[in-house]
Amino acid sequence: MKAIFFTIFILFCGASLHSQNYDFPPNAQPGKCYERCFEYHKKFTWKEINCDTLAMRAEKSKTKQATIKARQAKIKLTKYQEELKDLGYKVEITGKLNNQTIKAHHKYLKRQKRNKRKQERSQ
């Protein structure tokens, strides 16, 4: 009986560790605003911003230039997701930054770093 409970406990612990969520910043403080910072050559991070700038960004996003920039960013992310999928990562090509894309991005950066170290050692 103890073995069954222990096995179930281990399974639940493993599931909770595996289910990381990148939708919210770690240790977020109430009353502060955060923004996703996604760069193609760095790990995904959260940046604290002034909450007043959110209202200004909403007003700016209505302009034609902002719309064009947003579409270009979506196209660029779609191409990156296609590249990750071609490399064998499990990613849905949506053009939006989601948990699958972030996890695949981190794995891709880790693989690049490992390959770079292997090349340096072989020289």
**Cα maximum dimension of the chain:** 66
pLDDT digits (tens, 9 = 90+) for 49-100: 888 776 676 666 677 887 888 899 999 999 999 999 999 999 999 888 888 8
Alpha-carbon distance values, 119 to 39, 60, 112 (Å): 24, 46, 11
Angle at CA 94, nearest 5°, toward 93 and 97? 105
Q: Does pLDDT of 20 surpass 70?
A: no
Over residues 94-120, mean pLDDT: 91
Over residues 4-18, mean pLDDT: 66
Over residues 91-115, mean pLDDT: 90
* Close Cβ partners of 100 (under 8 Å, ≥ 6 residues apart): 90, 91, 92
> Over pLDDT 90: what percentage of the chain?
29
Looking at residue 63, what DSSP letter applies?
A: S
pLDDT of residue 12: 67
pLDDT of residue 34: 85
31 pLDDT band, cuts 50/70/90, is confident
